[in-house]
A and B are shown apart, each in its own frame.
Chain A
Amino acid sequence: MAHIIDRRLNPGGKSLENRQRFLRRAKSLVQGAVKKTSQERDIKDVLEGGEVTIPLDGMHEPRFRREGGTRDMVLPGNKKFIEGDYLQRSGQGGAKDSGPGEGDSEDAFRFVLSRDEFVDLFLDDLELPDLAKRKITQTESEGLQRAGYTTSGSPANISVGRTVRLALARRIALRRPRKSEMDELEARIAECTDEDERAALVAELERLKAKSKRIPFIDPLDIRYRRFETVPKPVAQAVMFCLMDVSGSMSEHMKDLAKRFYMLLYVFLKRRYKHVEIVFIRHTDRAEEVDEQTFFYGPASGGTLVSSALQAMHEIVRERFNPSDWNIYAAQASDGDNSYSDGELAGMLLTDKILPVCQFFAYLEVGESGGSAFDLSDSSLWTLYERLRNSGAPLSMRKVSERGEIFPVFHDLFQRRENQEKAAP
């Protein structure tokens, strides 16, 4: 007789714990591999998780292995050889070297990371500047959570299973007579002809009846209610402003760089906050709020007035995102060109309106691929931001000209810093 058991509903992922141990052990290797992989791939693909290759060296499990020396082997499929023939070592028809999968073929190891694992590892040592927002604790909601059983509560919360279980245990312990026993007795009484025996049976039946009255089927003692607890759930919300210069001087390559940066920032924020809003603002010499599609792919061209975008952001903040409720982040990408006359206005907007409400403002200056002219002199915007930063504004700035640099720069901007300036409480 065989037992046939369906195990398909058993929890899978028995290896999960082992897998986590492995990842923990290989963390630095995997992290390196993740960063390397992410430089080579589209952001979208990167955030889907996927395969990484790590050197096996650190994860190698050594065994005593023999190698070299004279070898003997028996092989199938001889077609023409006779005893005493010699085969060329590297030539056709010779024996193959040691089988595949042995020896050095194992020096690199590929495996698949889930999306979460991937992003976690990628963002592991990153942190949002000033994460402790002044007002986070104020916006809390309450949630319910199961918390065991209780002896009192509302009828709606009776736990039937638990109650019946307790009742059953009590009935067994107190030996409450079963209905089947009494039915049997009754049947015997009905059949019984002998008077004495009948009396004994009736007495027995009476005893059982009395007992089952004393020991109820369900006693109030048995009743259990499901208990719930309220747990506070902090709600943190963030809004990210993406400001992009789409004037004629921005090439496709530059937009691509900017786009990658924004995507990363988005994923990063998504990890840290329950609610993340994104506002896309693109500007030429005038700014408009657009949807994602238009932002990245819409054709637009014209002159450049950075202040227009800043003005737009300022208005949107005033209308929709009360700085006391929202963590506000902004990332600006530009090639650094700005009308000469606009510099002062932009500086003023930033100092007076934008930076005071922002947790963090990242400025990314994008350049042409190869970007040799890029280093020659600082652009007008760069100079402006540098001045602001030196006066202590929460502002970071970097220059990027190659795709592969996006990740390191992003990393740089959001690296966990020991002595991060704290916002005033």
Chain B
Amino acid sequence: MTDKTGRLFEGADWDFHTLQRIHDACEAVAKKELGLDVYPNQIEVITAEQMLDAYSSVGMPLFYKHWSFGKHFAFHEASYRKGLMGLAYEIVINSSPCISYLMEENTATMQTLVIAHAAFGHNHFFKSNYLFKQWTDADGILDYLDFAKTYVSQCEARYGRVEVERTLDAAHALMSHGIDRYPGKKNIDLRAEEKRAGRRRQHEEEVFNDLWRTVPKGAAKSRSVLSIERRRKLLGLPQENLLYFLEKSAPRLAPWQRELLRIVRHIAQYFYPQSQTKVMNEGTATYVHYRIMSTLHKQGRITDGNFLEFLQSHTNVVFQPEFDDPRFSGFNPYALGFAMMQDIERIATNPEAEDREWFPDIAGKGDPMGVLRDVWANYRDESFIGQFLSPRLMRHLRMFHLHDDPEERAGIRVDAIHDERGFRRVRRELARQHDVGFIDANIEVVDVDLAGDRRLILHHHVIKGSQLNETDAKRVLQHLADLWTYDVSLIEVDANDKVLREYVVSPRPIPAAA
């Protein structure tokens, strides 16, 4: 369908043939020139309203029903209507096939940009990065979400919406602490997971016999037999995955409640790699779309005008305001990731003496795409910045490190700047700020007082004197206690095991229905 000029499209209009043509052109560049490896693509054109819908259920095409998604929808819609917020140009889902949503309002140039960005950049990153390989099951996620949706609605029909909502509310509050941070023995296989859930339920139903409930159990073994160490080991303590712990060990949860916790936990885990790779993920997608668009322009497949339109969107995306700019709100992951990847390309092809000293492995190695593909596959934000932020880029962005100690009267101290003495410290500090393990509060279950009142004991290891927000902590603990059904205490301890604060929360009485 291409005309004589070989252009993909003229002007701003597009139709479905154009999209197909754009996709094929992008694919050719992505595969031949950049050597990307992607899941099959599925491109879906949606309206603004559907985009809002997708937003509010964490970008997923299907999700269980819950009021908090309605809240987010109302919130997004209000700010969108008031013009406070533009809609994202695209949403892309880490699944196989990789689904990219395109908005119908986009111009042809924007559609090209979005396809290059999402359907090739993000898609390649999802498929090749080790965290995603380790933690997500792209083939299974959509089926699993479908299962989750059906399961939740079945539970609502059987046990009542209020009950299900209580459990989900509690699970959501603990969601950020429902993650395994270190890879376990098994690969995630959500389809098998779903089947197992089905079999579990079926088994429970088949063997359920109310009579057994009344059969007297043998004399309990003396509790003292279980030494503390052994008990902790049996319970898998210390355990930082609170949802997992509750699912396995909370004494009075109904089987369906455990299943709900499990669902929330699996979904949290699915999103965990995304939170650790924001800079890399967006950087990759931005780098890829930039390369693809430039190539298409060079090949004469898009006009100068289209390319200028693209450049304008591109520069908006990678704009990094300085710290004293009113628009500043931290580092823009698009800008930082893109700049670093361009920098890596430069170091690989055209290094300076400084680069040879800092990056002996890649400096002057040539084959920038090979280097980048390797980086994309094997790093996350923290290690990526820690490894590849170059002095030149730090100088260029004029980075500096501030240390704010509330005790310090004189003010906030400038700890390091972009000079010889500061490079490594600035880089280390920036890397640390992108370490999820460092950003999230470090909370773990340390013990259960089995012999006594079954109180659950948690520790929060306070880092740099930063304690939990009291109001929120109490509310989350309330949810936790409701699931545990006995008292819960959270102790905040500093590095020297000094107790800073202790919360004790008792469960709310369970309504008669439970």
Contacts and interface: CB of A to CB of B under 8 A. Distances in A.
Given A4-B23, A14-B53, A65-B472, A70 B443 contact: no
A173 interface: no
Given A3-B43, A64-B443, A68-B466, A76 B78 contact: no
Contact of B78 (A69, A72, A110): A110
Contacts of A78: 323, 398-400, 417-418
A72 B473 CA distance: 23
B301 interface: no
B411 A87 contact: yes
A383 B50 CA distance: 60
Nearest to B396: A76
Contacts of A2: 20, 23-24, 27, 40-43, 119
B65 interface: yes
Contacts of B45: 4-8
Contacts of B41: 2-3
Interface string B1-39: 000000000000000100110011001000000000000
B44 A7 contact: yes
B46 A8 contact: yes
Interface residues of A, number: 67
Contacts of B57: 14-15, 18
Interface string A10-41: 10111101111111111000000000000000
B249 interface: no
A5 B42 contact: yes
A60 interface: yes
Contacts of A74: 331, 399-402, 426, 429-430, 433
A149 B402 CA distance: 75
Contact of B469 (A18, A25, A67, A89): A67
B475 A10 contact: no
A88 interface: yes
A86 B473 contact: no
Contact of B465 (A7, A61, A70, A81): A70
A79 B399 CA distance: 10
A24 B66 CA distance: 12
Contacts of B97: 3
Contact of A87 (B66, B173, B414, B426): B414
Contacts of A83: 414-417, 419, 421-422
Interface in B90-140: 97, 101, 104, 119
Interface stretch (A95-103, A343-351, A394-402): A95-103
B398 A79 contact: yes
Nearest to A19: B70
Contact of A76 (B50, B77, B320, B473): B320
Contact of A95 (B16, B119, B323, B433): B323
A63 B430 contact: no
B69 interface: yes
A3 B98 CA distance: 10
Contacts of A79: 398
Nearest to A99: B329
B248 interface: no
A64 B177 contact: yes
Contact of B67 (A18, A70, A77): A18
B325 A12 contact: no
Contact of A1 (B40, B47, B75, B104): B40
A130 interface: no
Given A6-B16, A83-B422, A85-B413, A70 B464 contact: yes
A340 interface: no
A87 B468 contact: no
Contacts of B20: 2, 4
B443 to A, nearest CB: 6
Contacts of A86: 410-414
A89 B412 contact: yes
B370 to A, nearest CB: 26
Contacts of A21: 65-67, 70
Contacts of B412: 86-87, 89, 94-95
A8 B465 contact: no
A228 interface: no
B399 A112 contact: no
B441 A111 contact: no
Nearest to A11: B50
B216 interface: no
A110 B404 CA distance: 34
A63 B70 CA distance: 18
A95 B19 contact: no
Contacts of A203: none
Interface string B417-436: 11101100010011011000
A14 B479 CA distance: 28
A18 B66 contact: yes
A1 B465 CA distance: 54
Interface in B304-334: 320-325, 328-331
B73 A19 contact: yes
Nearest to A14: B53
A89 B330 CA distance: 18
A75 interface: yes
Nearest to B48: A12
A71 B464 CA distance: 8
B406 interface: yes
Interface in B143-180: 169, 172-173, 175-177
B413 A61 contact: no
Q: Which 3 A-B pairs have the closest CB atoms?
A: A77-B322, A69-B466, A22-B70
Given A21-B66, A62-B476, A79-B398, 15 more contacts: A2-B42, A7-B50, A12-B47, A12-B49, A15-B52, A15-B73, A21-B70, A61-B173, A64-B440, A64-B460, A64-B473, A65-B473, A75-B328, A77-B323, A88-B411
6 contacts: A14-B57, A15-B56, A69-B464, A71-B403, A73-B401, A74-B430
Interface of B: 16, 19-20, 23-24, 27, 40-47, 49-50, 52-53, 56-57, 65-71, 73-75, 77-78, 81, 97, 101, 104, 119, 169, 172-173, 175-177, 320-325, 328-331, 397-406, 410-419, 421-422, 426, 429-430, 432-433, 440-441, 443, 460, 462-469, 471-473, 475-476, 479
Interface of A: 1-8, 10, 12-15, 17-26, 51, 59-79, 81-89, 91-96, 99-100, 103, 109-112
